[in-house]
Amino acid sequence: MQQHHFLPLSKRGNKLFIALSDPTNQQAINDVSFGSKLAVEVVLVEDDKLHQAIERYLDTGTGGLELSDLDLDLEAEGGERAQEAVAGTDADDAPVVKFVNKMLLDAIKKGSSDLHFEPYEKMYRVRFRTDGVLHEAARPPVQLVSRISARLKVMSNMDISERRKPQDGRVKLKVSKTKSIDFRVNTLPTLWGEKIVMRILDSSSAQMGIDALGYEDVQKELYLQALKQPQGMILVTGPTGSGKTVSLYTGLNILNTEDINISTAEDPVEINLEGINQVNVNPRQAQQKP
């Protein structure tokens, strides 16, 4: 119990309800399920309150605790997807907030280009794309699909009640006093919930200059020559995470001088550049040139 920092609450049929503060602690869930031969349902609890409850439980030796016996601020996780609609509205749940923040910071530290939150029938996984390849980062309890989705949509200024249509949003995460990182967020309704993809947009990467792109000397010279042309088109292609966005924004930064007027049409604007007139293309609302 102390090793995995959990507390058994009650048994209902073939389900064992346990209090847990870390929804990513899959090892604890698996060990409890294996030892009890029961399906485990997680009840999220704030860490300090769970610690107090465990100490009180060990001191008194009380068995068969129910939720009402614990002085905890809880919201139980139901086993059915229909019940998640209620739980999903509580986007300020502390353990969920902690989990989401941890995923974002972990992805940044690993140099990932995007995060995928993917719900399935019997599992929920989070994957990071690093160097163009997706890697599994976590498997939170499947009951958290709606809560995590709601939290991400609140952060992205999306409509948390809209689950049938795709939505687009943006998140700015302050990682230090002097640095913030933007995330472009997209939702996609699937059979088992909303898949959410977050693209990491680090504006500092576009300010590092062309030498930081890793081009060969010949490639670098070709790109600089193309940027100097009075007219024409530069077509940049490549797989996800290969550096297309950074290459284009680096080119814009090279051209961004006081004597040149620059306007862009982007879908959407990914990195904000000072001194450039950036325009979001909105397919639903056609824009005409004034």
Beta strands in the chain (DSSP E): 6-12, 15-20, 39-44, 75-76, 114-119, 124-130, 133-138, 168-174, 180-190, 193-201, 263-266, 277-280
Angle at 90 between CA 46 and CA 137, to 5 degrees: 65
Considering Cα of 284, then 285, then 288, then 290, what sign does the dihedral take? negative
pLDDT of residue 93: 63
- Distance from the Cα of residue 9 to its chain's centroid: 30
pLDDT of residue 91: 43
Residue 251 confidence (pLDDT) above 50: yes
**How would you classify residue 13: left for phi > 0, otherwise alpha for psi between -120 and 50, otherwise beta?**
left
Q: What is the largest CA-CA distance in the chain?
A: 81
What number does CATH give the domain 94-201?
Answer: 3.30.450.90
Beta bridge partners of 198: 115, 185
Predicted confidence (pLDDT) per residue in 45-100, tens digit: 767 777 777 777 676 654 444 444 443 333 333 333 333 333 344 444 677 888 88
Share of the chain above pLDDT 70, in %: 78
Predicted confidence (pLDDT) per residue in 192-222, tens digit: 999 999 999 876 666 667 887 888 999 999 9
CATH class held by domain 6-76: alpha beta
Helix, strand, coil percentages for the chain (3-state, nearest 5) = 35, 25, 40
Alpha-carbon gap, residue 40 to 22, rounded angstroms: 14
- Confidence band for 135, pLDDT divided at 50, 70 and 90: very high
Amino acid at 165: K
Domain with CATH 3.30.450.90 in the chain: 94-201
Domain with CATH 3.30.300 in the chain: 6-76
pLDDT of residue 207: 64
Q: Is the pTM of this model over 0.85?
A: no
Predicted confidence (pLDDT) per residue in 141-188, tens digit: 888 889 999 999 999 989 988 999 999 998 888 766 667 788 999 999
